[in-house]
Structure 1
Amino acid sequence: MSHLEMAMATLIQTFDQYAGSDGKKSTLSKAEVKTLVEKELPGLLQGAKNPDEVDKFLKNLDLNRDSEVDFQEFIMLIGALTCALHDHFCK
């Protein structure tokens, strides 16, 4: 597999690893998203000035307001974070 194919497989595996602890394998609950962010994106939490910022961020991630994060919303998060990092490192 190419690097990009491996990255895509990793995203799928990471989502699947955290989804389903509440019984729904196709979505992440708020608790599952928090666990994923804490374990997989610890720098994001360290950059937050207060816990309310993280909660607001997670709420904004749920685009369809169903109190869950589906795979498409998860990928949008990863894409947005990747763009922000790219912009940061290019400056």
Structure 2
Amino acid sequence: MSQLEVAMATLIQTFDKYAGSDGKKCTLSKTEVKTLMEKELPGLLKAAKNPSEVDKLMKDLDFNGDSEVDFQEFITLVVALTCAAHNRFCKR
């Protein structure tokens, strides 16, 4: 597989790894989002000084208002973070 195909497969596997522990395999609950972020994005959580940042992030990600994060909403987070990182490196 190409690097991009591996990256896509990794995103799917990462979502699937955390989704479903609360019963729904196709969405992430607030608890699952927090666990995913603690394990997969620890630097991002450490940068957040306010402990309610996960609550705010969850609200921002939950576009359809169902109190869960589906795969499309998860990918929106990944894209936003990737764009921010890319912009940061371009400014150097």
The percentage of aligned residue pairs carrying the same residue is 78
Paired AA for residue 49 in structure 1: K
Q: Could you list the structure 1 runs, at least 4 aligned residues long, displaced by more than 6 angstroms after superposition.
A: none
SS in 2 for 1:49: coil
SS in 1 for 2:52: helix
- Aligned pairs (5 A) from 1:18-37: 18-37=18-37
TM-score by length of 2: 0.95
Count of equivalent residues = 91
**What corresponds to 1:65 in structure 2?**
65
**What corresponds to 1:17 in structure 2?**
17
Q: Which runs of 5+ in 1 are unaligned?
A: none
TM-score by length of 1: 0.96
| Alpha-carbon distance in 1 for matches of 2:33, 2:19 | 8
**What corresponds to 2:51 in structure 1?**
51
| Alpha-carbon distance in 1 for matches of 2:5, 2:62 | 26
Q: CA deviation at 1:46?
A: 1.1
**What corresponds to 2:83 in structure 1?**
83
